[in-house]
């Protein structure tokens, strides 16, 4: 039980899918964050698309997804 | 091993860092300047500082050594073991800490639960950091001695004088801005070694083909995901439950040395952006520390101690001048770890212990002075205790194990504190104490509970689970906090006001 023996039957391919699904899930949750919350702290007239932290986060998650997909 | 030009590079680096750090003393006029950089720093500097504080001189050698032994799976710690947690911190926790004007994580716990939780959490971190300082001094100096033949006492003395000067006078601003330079040095040194290493092994394809041809024991060296019953310390179940869900979050959300940097940001957007920027840089860290270990399998096969992989690579790959740069990168790792420990411990002591228990309502100048004196005392204690730690060879591992006792339960009460309004002060206190006790029992009798040799990932997960459920059960049996007290402390407990209008 403490050693997660009950998960030993899951193949490595399925384990990889679990990791990849986790990254997609995090990405989807980030997309649901309201833009107003993302830009909080920046003046309204200084908010540009490249200040949208959702894009930054999705970019990093994309790299992470790609890395785990390859390896 | 060092040539004349290498010495020149190292001395230029050390002098430059000291002068740069010392320059920032002019910006210190209050305790807020000293501990939070006057809340004026930009995201890029904070992000770089977060990453460099996380890579010590020991990590360079340790991670390369583990890559030599176990392959690419050690990269999990910088990839899945950092990035998701950093995004959670950036979007949920950091904005609440920043808006609350907090100095320390225990301060949040004190406001959310009670003063006892704050004091226990703060004292635990202070003891951990203070002991870690001496151990870090000694272990890193021994490492530099082995790698470069630099005398142990000289490494400790140089680090203490340089870091002590700029941290004492310049506070966290000096720490963050010198970290920026340290990161550049580390990345240039590490990337150069990796680039020249790839050239020596025939590129990435050459690396994969040659390691693959070395025999069945190297079959899994390019698999990030290892079987649940692997004999390595990185089974995928431990990586997912222990590392991704608990240790990474506890580290990125609950560790003072990391979070304090985000609290120095000039506004909430910069605070969030700093952590996301750092997560992008973290994706690159394994390239610096992991690939040289893999290349050493081909270039230096059959090493008895994997930790020799990186030194061997440096000796065989780098030309004079660049060896000095790599040596500076090691020094950068040591200095950035020491300056973080000094400033964060001084902040914890001044804000969580001195201010509430020893002298309330003193002037700001007084607290600034206490912060500076604490920095100085810690530095002296670290230097004085470092030779003692040399007499206990297992102490470095023991300290890391101690951290795994604490992190699971701490993250449990932080998580419930942020997302569950019903969590009470007695729930938080019980969850923290019983969770730490449970982790201690699991670790003490690990042979009876676990099948792998080093089950720290599993201990973290199960102590988190224990802390989580104890907090819930005790909270349900004790009086809830009034809603008014939770404003700004629990997720969505406050309607957001856009101050930028």
| Averaged pLDDT, B108-119 | 93
Establish, for the pair of chains A and B, how many residue pairs have beta carbons separated by less than 8 Å. Answer: 116
What is this model's ipTM? 0.95
Q: Of B326, B340, B324, B255, nearest to B52 (Cα)?
A: B340
How many CA atoms does the CB half-sphere of B110 hold within 13 Å?
20
Give the per-residue pLDDT at B264.
Answer: 96
Please check whether residue B36 touches A, CB under 8 A.
no
> CB–CB of B500 and A41 under 8 A?
yes
Residues 6+ apart with CB under 8 A from B8: B324
The pLDDT value given to residue B344: 94
- pLDDT value of position B397: 65
Is the pLDDT confidence value at A6 over 90?
Answer: no
pLDDT of B144 over the 80 cut: no
Amino acid B427: pLDDT: 95
**Which residues share a beta bridge with B383?**
none
- Residue B374 has what pLDDT? 95
Distance from CA of B451 to the nearest CA of A (A): 7
- Of the two residues B453 and B214, the one the predictor is more confident about is B214
**DSSP three-state, residue B320:** coil
Q: Which residues pair with B265 in a beta bridge?
A: B41
Say whether residue A30 is in contact with chain B using an 8 A CB cutoff. yes
Q: What CA–CA distance (Å, rounded) separates B463 from B470?
A: 10
Give the other-Cβ count within 10 Å of B299's Cβ. Answer: 16
What residues pair up with B41 in beta bridges, in sequence order? B265
Q: Is the minimum CB–CB distance between B452 and chain A shorter than 8 Å?
A: yes
Q: What is the pLDDT of residue B75?
A: 92
Give residue-wise pLDDT tens across range B151-174.
Answer: 888 888 888 888 888 899 999 999
Question: Which residue reads 């699991």 in tokens?
Answer: B442
Q: Is A55 within 8 Å of chain B by CB?
A: no
Is the separation of the CB atoms in A67 and B290 below 8 Å? Answer: no
Exposure string over B166-202, b if 16+ CB within 10 A, otherwise e: bbbbbbbbbbbbbbbbbbebbbbbbebbbebbbebbe
pLDDT band at B494 (very low <50, low <70, confident <90, very high): low
Tens digit of pLDDT for each residue in A36-60? 999 998 988 888 999 999 999 999 9
Which segment of A26-30, B203-207, B307-311 scores lowest on mean pLDDT? Answer: B307-311
Predicted confidence (pLDDT) at residue B272 exceeds the cutoff of 90: yes
CB atoms within 10 A of CB B419: 12
Token pair recorded at residue B167: 């941290």
Question: Has residue B501 got a pLDDT over 70?
Answer: no
pLDDT by residue (tens digit) across B285-344? 998 889 999 999 999 988 887 888 888 888 889 888 888 888 888 878 888 888 899 999
| pLDDT value at residue B485 | 87
Residue B336: alpha-carbon gap to chain centroid: 10
> How deeply is A44 buried, as exposed, middle or buried, from its count of CB atoms within 10 A (0-12, 13-18, 19+)?
exposed
Cβ B79–A41 below 8 Å, yes or no?
no
Close Cβ partners of A52 (under 8 Å, ≥ 6 residues apart): A35, A38, A39
**Which pairs from A9-12 meet CB under 8 Å and 24+ separation?**
A10/B228, A12/B223, A12/B225, A12/B227, A12/B236
Q: Which domains does chain B have, with CATH numbers?
A: 4-391 (1.20.1730.10), 397-493 (no CATH)
Q: What is the pLDDT of residue B451?
A: 77
Distance from the Cα of B453 to chain A's closest Cα (Å) equals: 12
pLDDT of residue B499: 45
Chain B residues in contact with A53 (beta carbon < 8 A): 90-91, 269, 272-273, 276
Cα A28 off chain centre by: 7
Confidence at B346, pLDDT banded by 50, 70, 90: very high
């Amino acid at each position: 039980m403490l050693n997660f023996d009950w998960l030993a039957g899951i193949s490595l391919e399925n384990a990889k899918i679990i990791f990849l699904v986790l990254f997609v899930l995090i990405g989807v949750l980030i997309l649901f964050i309201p833009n107003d919350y993302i830009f909080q702290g920046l003046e309204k007239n200084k908010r540009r698309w490249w200040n949208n932290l959702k894009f930054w986060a999705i970019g990093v998650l994309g790299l992470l997804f790609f890395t785990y997909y390859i390896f | 091993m060092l040539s004349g030009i290498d010495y020149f590079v190292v001395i230029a680096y050390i002098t430059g860092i000291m002068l740069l750090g010392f320059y920032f003393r002019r910006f210190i006029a209050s305790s807020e300047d000293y501990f939070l950089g006057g809340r004026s720093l930009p995201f890029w500097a904070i992000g770089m500082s977060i990453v460099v504080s996380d890579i010590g001189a020991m990590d360079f050698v340790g991670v390369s050594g583990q890559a030599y032994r176990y392959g690419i799976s050690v990269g999990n710690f910088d990839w899945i073991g950092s990035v998701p947690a950093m995004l959670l911190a950036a979007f949920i926790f950091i904005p609440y800490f920043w808006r609350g004007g907090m100095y320390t994580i225990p301060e949040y716990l004190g406001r959310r639960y009670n003063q006892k939780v704050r004091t226990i959490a703060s004292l635990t971190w202070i003891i951990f950091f203070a002991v870690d300082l001496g151990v870090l001094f000694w272990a890193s100096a021994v490492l530099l001695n082995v790698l470069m033949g630099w005398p142990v006492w000289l490494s400790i003395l140089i680090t203490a004088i340089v870091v002590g000067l700029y941290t004492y006078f310049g506070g966290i601003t000096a720490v963050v801005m010198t970290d920026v330079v340290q990161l550049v040095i580390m990345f240039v040194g590490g990337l150069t070694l990796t680039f020249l290493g790839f050239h020596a092994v025939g590129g990435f394809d050459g690396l994969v083909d040659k390691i693959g041809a070395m025999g069945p024991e190297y079959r899994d060296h390019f698999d990030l995901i290892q079987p649940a019953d692997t004999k390595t310390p990185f089974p995928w179940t431990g990586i997912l439950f222990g590392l991704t869900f608990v240790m990474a979050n506890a580290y990125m959300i609950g560790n003072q040395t990391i979070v304090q940097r985000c609290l120095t940001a000039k506004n909430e957007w910069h605070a969030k952006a700093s952590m996301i920027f750092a997560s992008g840089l973290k994706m690159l860290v394994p390239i610096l520390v992991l690939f040289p270990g893999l290349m050493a399998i081909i270039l230096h096969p059959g090493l008895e101690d994997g930790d020799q992989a990186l030194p061997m690579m440096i000796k065989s790959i780098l030309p004079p001048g660049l060896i000095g740069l790599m040596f500076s990168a090691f020094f950068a790792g040591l200095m950035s770890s020491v300056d973080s420990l000094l400033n964060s411990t001084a902040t914890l002591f001044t804000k969580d212990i001195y201010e509430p228990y020893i002298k309330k309502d003193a002037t700001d100048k007084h607290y600034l002075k206490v912060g500076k004196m604490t920095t100085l005392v810690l530095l002296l204690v670290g230097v004085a205790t470092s030779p003692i730690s040399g007499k206990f060879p297992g102490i470095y591992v023991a300290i890391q194990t101690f951290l795994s006792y604490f992190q699971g339960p701490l993250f449990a009460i932080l998580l419930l504190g942020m997302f569950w309004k019903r969590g009470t002060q007695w729930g938080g206190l019980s969850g923290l104490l019983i969770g730490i006790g449970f982790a201690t029992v699991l670790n003490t009798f690990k042979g009876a509970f676990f099948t792998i040799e080093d089950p720290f990932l599993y201990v973290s997960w199960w102590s988190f689970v224990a802390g989580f459920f104890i907090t819930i059960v005790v909270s349900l049996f004790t009086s809830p906090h009034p809603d008014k007290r939770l404003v700004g402390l629990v997720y969505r407990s406050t309607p957001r006001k856009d101050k930028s209008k």
